[in-house]
Structure 1
């Protein structure tokens, strides 16, 4: 489990299983929140996490698969698709330069 400073995050990936609903909404919300920080947000299947991702945000039930698919990435699991404290902490770290662990 590593960490990264929020100022060093340039790409966030929202990884999901197969659906296109709630995780797409989360990715869209993050895109809007992080646009002014020049952070790219992508939505991808959990088994296809791109190599240039700095942080992977995924539902708690998929965290183990995300870590297996991208063992060198910071994986941040969440419980609720909108308004989850773990996702809010990532946004705040990018805004203020705090640490993101995963």
Structure 2
């Protein structure tokens, strides 16, 4: 089972398909939540995920495409809900608390 070390995350990418709307709002929310942790949060189309991303958060239906872009070394965390999704909450808490999570 892959593990995400929250203490090592410096760049989180919210990846989407169209680049507008709800995923942009999610990125803005995460940017506020992770500011104190010193994590850069960026929004990107799946095909343009930067190679220096430490973790990628994306919708369930885009996760396979995101994994194809980033490879096996970068965790891709799929979610279903743009607001209040448990997977996103687990990632945020792991980063804020500097702990590891399995996904």
Structure 2: unaligned runs, 5 residues or longer: none
Shift of 1:4: 2.6
- Which residue matches 2:16? 16
Is the CA contact 2:14–2:23 (under 8 Å) kept in the aligned structure 1? yes
* CA RMSD across the alignment: 1.2
Is the CA contact 1:3–1:101 (under 8 Å) kept in the aligned structure 2? yes
Question: Residue 36 of structure 2 aligns to a residue in which SS?
Answer: helix
For residues 15 and 83 of structure 1, what CA distance do their matches in structure 2 show? 17
Is the CA contact 2:57–2:77 (under 8 Å) kept in the aligned structure 1? yes
Structure 1: unaligned runs, 5 residues or longer: none
Aligned length: 102
- Which residue matches 1:51? 51
The TM-score normalised by the length of structure 2 is: 0.93
Question: Residue 4 of structure 2 aligns to a residue in which SS?
Answer: strand
The TM-score normalised by the length of structure 1 is: 0.94
For residues 18 and 102 of structure 2, what CA distance do their matches in structure 1 show? 26
- Which residue matches 1:64? 64
Question: Residue 52 of structure 1 aligns to a residue in which SS?
Answer: coil
For residues 91 and 81 of structure 1, what CA distance do their matches in structure 2 show? 14
For residues 66 and 25 of structure 1, what CA distance do their matches in structure 2 show? 19
Shift of 1:45: 0.3
